[in-house]
Structure 1
């Protein structure tokens, strides 16, 4: 069925809900429904831009991500106590291994690193062999195996006989492999479920006309995708309570059972999904492009025959890998378009260079800030429950930002484009760490244990953990601006053939944050936590300045490229729009 046929159907009948497979750009051009028409440049400049309705298939993927994150945060929530404290020690926080804060923070950073290194493997397997859907299913099975290992080795007899630590390490490796294969593919898959690419005008029930913009729809999809992640993250409230009041093995059994449900839900939705087939891994092909481009560029330079573009400027060294230039004198396994797409992907990856510093800040929440809460009066709740303030804030704030704050800025002509949003997120993360440093200073100045609170059999100082709340609120706000936008940017700026690999590179920046965390291991304990938080804050603040200086022009360039690449109708009927609408 052609796009013209669909347009005719939509004009002659009521709106129809067609299967997503039929609407995917690989199968069919964009289409119109009743009450819609293609947008013109005049429409884009005069009418209010809005996001479209999110398709049902996308909600299935979002629900799957919710279940996976429920499992992930449910098992990682108790990790710091599980590793740091001894088993059934009187008048102490819950524990199992008794390895101390250094080992707890080190293993936590290792797990974070591993979980965000493996997405590269998941992306390669999806692109080369299985496709996103099958890759997610296969790695989900691996994930379940890891969950079972963790649950079985956390039973009391295993802990008492020394099985907890080796079991934890094996489970971390297995779960990290599973989550890597899922994360690199579920994020681009959720956005792929929306198959409309051209902007169009829709008439609302009140007669107002608006432009439905794919860019805003994708932004909204990732906002709700991240919202589901943080709803799932609340599982740590349940598991830390179970850990404190029952034991660790039922705390780990709950998220294990949830993940089984996750796999079932995901598979049940398979008939609704836009499922893209593997197109071949671009990693090896990209490597060959780089080698060919550099070799041909050096040869052209040595022979004084560099090529100029239409503006009289020297072309990029990557352009020398294009088959159209035929500098190699033979056929290659790529096209000119692939070289251009690869350059676009590399440009988007540059924006990710400062993200390891952001994740260094974020990871403090699951290790050193948990230990900080252990030095304070938490009342009748476990110290590691405090980190759940972050997802609670995100759950409340994302709908506010998505429905009110971001549209409000657009209404007054101050649209917050990606680089601007990321810069704000980085700055707020730096402020969160500065607050944590100041708070730690007051913890150390408070009796009765001062800078030894929470060490060994020591209890807490007489200072309420409630004053940690502003730090978690700031971290939540920074995530909405930096983390959500990073996911969105990685997807939007990556060419169709490279979305999984670019997404995996974005996720790898989290592994970079964990590597940086290892560098702070020597000061990730009393009495050095003030220096730890202060240095992290300073690095993030400096990184924010560098990021803005280097990439501030990207927002304007992206807007120009979007306008250039968008297909508009030449003329449109009178829209009947006023500036007050």
Structure 2
């Protein structure tokens, strides 16, 4: 019996199959179209509360103007760290010592003057921030103080030339130069970090659909975090100048070590001139700082109640601000309270710039300058910042939000670890001969002979300080910027920097304890202080983590309020954004 089908049966089956394929194809197209439409609908919309918690948060693209500001900071930090790295030897030792110096102020005197320089460099930002936010704006303030900076370095260079200097001339020139350089540093430092963050358009979080189809939250807070990480990376690339200047100090002379930063600083001026039409320049506020102090004073007189300063609560007072401005002041107060415990941290950080250098001088250097090891801190930061940005922070955010207060607390703990390590290392230096707890001072024949401990063992202390900086210092910069009103970013940043000055004042107070054979206890005391300060910081401010998003939301309202500023004031900003 034949099983062949009639031709018309084959035709019917073929038509049926074609219809089925067409239907499947239509369904696929409908599905793809629906998916595309869904993606298009998702792209750019505001995420829900659930999406904010569950979707991955990513950064926006960093604009070219950020790079131009970063070059300014890199050049300034190259000069600052390059010229300050030889300071401890320059101040502490005489020309006959090993390593040689000029001013012969001994370790405690040099440490006190070093802390004065740090103190001055971090007091002057308050003046720089006030000038920028009240009169000149960030760009002009940075440019003017860069010129002042160059004058200060030139005085330092001239008074260190062996052919024309004496100890008296060198001391006079040194004091004059650090006062001028400190003033200039304040004008630049209080404004560069807010200026680089100003280059990022202030947008609300939105949904972004990646090429892979993954939906993520494009979060401006992550962008700001990455910008400050990048900013700090530039700082530490610049600070690698310590390698060059310490080698020049050791093999040529102090004058050569100061000539290099003087020449390099002109790069900052070139970057400012080239970028003058690229930078986003936020308009100067209308005596915004004066209004802030008046608003705060009203709150103090009303039992620290800022509600009393709101025009809606007291309309008869005719306050020259809005309710929103009062909320900005409240947010700024939150930030300033967080900075209270930072001075203890800065005392710990300051050890890297003075007593760690002296400690290295007590060990076997094997041909290295004792002040070159500061470069380990910068190198560690350059290595670890990309690791934290690309791996550590995203990994932690998969499980829990890694908010600012938590990061700062961890920074305090790593600072504690650095001091514990320094104390243990100092103990082993004292146990080693030939001079035990009085290195290089037990007999005339040992004045140039260090104790038998290899200087490389000091490296972990710098690594621990570097990680603490990533967690505490970078996050502090980020917190100061994001919690400040748009019109007073520089001033609030200067308040954060002022905590470093307070830390330097504390360092001056305890500098007399940094002498042999007390150094083990001095480092131990700093470790205990940093640990206690970190714990108190966590207890006092851990609840701020839960207010983070609410406080950051005011930033978007700040940008909306800028729209009411006369367009003539904003014309340059609009062009820059375009």
Q: TM-score range with shorter-chain normalisation? A: 0.7 to 0.9
Change (3 A) 1:218 1:275: same
> Residues 125-164 of structure 1: CA distance to partner in whole angstroms, max 9, x if unpaired?
0011100000000111111110100000010034435211
1:334 aligned onto 2:324: no
> Residues 143-200 of structure 1: CA distance to partner in whole angstroms, max 9, x if unpaired?
1110100000010034435211110100000000001001111111111101041222
Q: Aligned-pair distance for 1:450?
A: 1.3
What is the match of residue 250 of structure 1? Answer: 256
Give the secondary-structure state (helix, strand or coil) at the position aligned to 1:135. Answer: helix
Give the secondary-structure state (helix, strand or coil) at the position aligned to 2:207. Answer: strand
Change (3 A) 1:214 1:539: same
1:445 aligned onto 2:431: yes
What is the match of residue 322 of structure 1? Answer: 310
Q: Aligned-pair distance for 1:48?
A: 1.6
Q: Aligned-pair distance for 1:527?
A: 1.5
Q: Aligned-pair distance for 1:205?
A: 2.7
Counterpart Cα distance in 2 of 1:196 and 1:38:
16
1:80 aligned onto 2:88: yes
1:289 aligned onto 2:275: no
Correspondences of 1:351-370 after superposition (within 5 Å): 351-370=338-357
Counterpart Cα distance in 2 of 1:361 and 1:159:
35
What is the match of residue 277 of structure 1? Answer: 283
What is the match of residue 133 of structure 2? Answer: 127
> Residues 86-141 of structure 1: CA distance to partner in whole angstroms, max 9, x if unpaired?
12x26x10311112112210110000000000000001100111000000001111
Is residue 130–residue 277 contact of structure 1 (8 Å, CA) maintained in 2? no
Change (3 A) 1:149 1:333: same
Is residue 289–residue 488 contact of structure 2 (8 Å, CA) maintained in 1? no
Is residue 111–residue 176 contact of structure 1 (8 Å, CA) maintained in 2? yes
- 2:386 aligns with one of 399, 402, 405: 399
Q: Aligned-pair distance for 1:365?
A: 0.6
What is the match of residue 74 of structure 2? Answer: 66
Correspondences of 1:189-208 after superposition (within 5 Å): 189-208=195-214
What is the match of residue 22 of structure 1? Answer: none
Q: Aligned-pair distance for 1:547?
A: 0.5
Q: Aligned-pair distance for 1:330?
A: 4.1
> Residues 319-358 of structure 1: CA distance to partner in whole angstroms, max 9, x if unpaired?
212223337x443332222222111101111111111011
What is the match of residue 512 of structure 1? Answer: 502
Give the secondary-structure state (helix, strand or coil) at the position aligned to 1:210. Answer: strand
> Residues 450-480 of structure 1: CA distance to partner in whole angstroms, max 9, x if unpaired?
1221459343101111110111110011011
Q: Aligned-pair distance for 1:408?
A: 1.1
Is residue 96–residue 159 contact of structure 1 (8 Å, CA) maintained in 2? no
Counterpart Cα distance in 2 of 1:209 and 1:563:
22
Higher Rg of the two aligned structures: 2
What is the match of residue 227 of structure 1? Answer: 233
- 1:49 aligns with one of 46, 57, 60: 57
Correspondences of 1:396-545 after superposition (within 5 Å): 396-411=383-398, 413-455=399-441, 457-545=447-535
Counterpart Cα distance in 1 of 2:395 and 2:218:
17
Correspondences of 1:142-157 after superposition (within 5 Å): 142-157=148-163
- 2:369 aligns with one of 363, 382, 407: 382
Is residue 94–residue 243 contact of structure 1 (8 Å, CA) maintained in 2? no
Give the secondary-structure state (helix, strand or coil) at the position aligned to 2:450. Answer: coil
TM-score, length-scaled by structure 1: 0.85
1:548 aligned onto 2:538: yes
Q: How many residue pairs end up in the alignment?
A: 513
> Residues 253-291 of structure 1: CA distance to partner in whole angstroms, max 9, x if unpaired?
101111111111122111111011211343322232233
Is residue 128–residue 141 contact of structure 2 (8 Å, CA) maintained in 1? yes
1:37 aligned onto 2:44: yes
Larger proportion of helix: 2
Counterpart Cα distance in 2 of 1:206 and 1:190:
31
What is the match of residue 274 of structure 2? Answer: 268
What is the match of residue 11 of structure 2? Answer: none
Q: Aligned-pair distance for 1:530?
A: 1.0
Unaligned runs of 5+ in 2: 1-39, 558-578
Q: Aligned-pair distance for 1:534?
A: 0.7
Change (3 A) 1:247 1:495: same
> Residues 282-334 of structure 1: CA distance to partner in whole angstroms, max 9, x if unpaired?
33222322333444x37xxxxxxxxxxxxxxxxx622212223337x443332
Is residue 282–residue 487 contact of structure 2 (8 Å, CA) maintained in 1? no
CA RMSD of aligned residues (A): 2.0
1:345 aligned onto 2:353: no
Is residue 184–residue 501 contact of structure 1 (8 Å, CA) maintained in 2? yes
Q: Aligned-pair distance for 1:528?
A: 1.4
Counterpart Cα distance in 2 of 1:441 and 1:475:
19
Is residue 38–residue 198 contact of structure 1 (8 Å, CA) maintained in 2? no
> Residues 478-526 of structure 1: CA distance to partner in whole angstroms, max 9, x if unpaired?
0111001101111111121221111000000110110110111111121
Counterpart Cα distance in 1 of 2:179 and 2:286:
27
Is residue 449–residue 458 contact of structure 1 (8 Å, CA) maintained in 2? no
What is the match of residue 577 of structure 1? Answer: none
Counterpart Cα distance in 1 of 2:42 and 2:171:
62
What is the match of residue 560 of structure 2? Answer: none
TM-score, length-scaled by structure 2: 0.85
Counterpart Cα distance in 2 of 1:421 and 1:294:
31
Moved more, 556-565 or 528-537: 556-565
Is residue 66–residue 228 contact of structure 1 (8 Å, CA) maintained in 2? yes
Give the secondary-structure state (helix, strand or coil) at the position aligned to 1:129. Answer: helix
Moved more, 35-44 or 349-358: 35-44
Q: Aligned-pair distance for 1:562?
A: 4.8
What is the match of residue 565 of structure 2? Answer: none
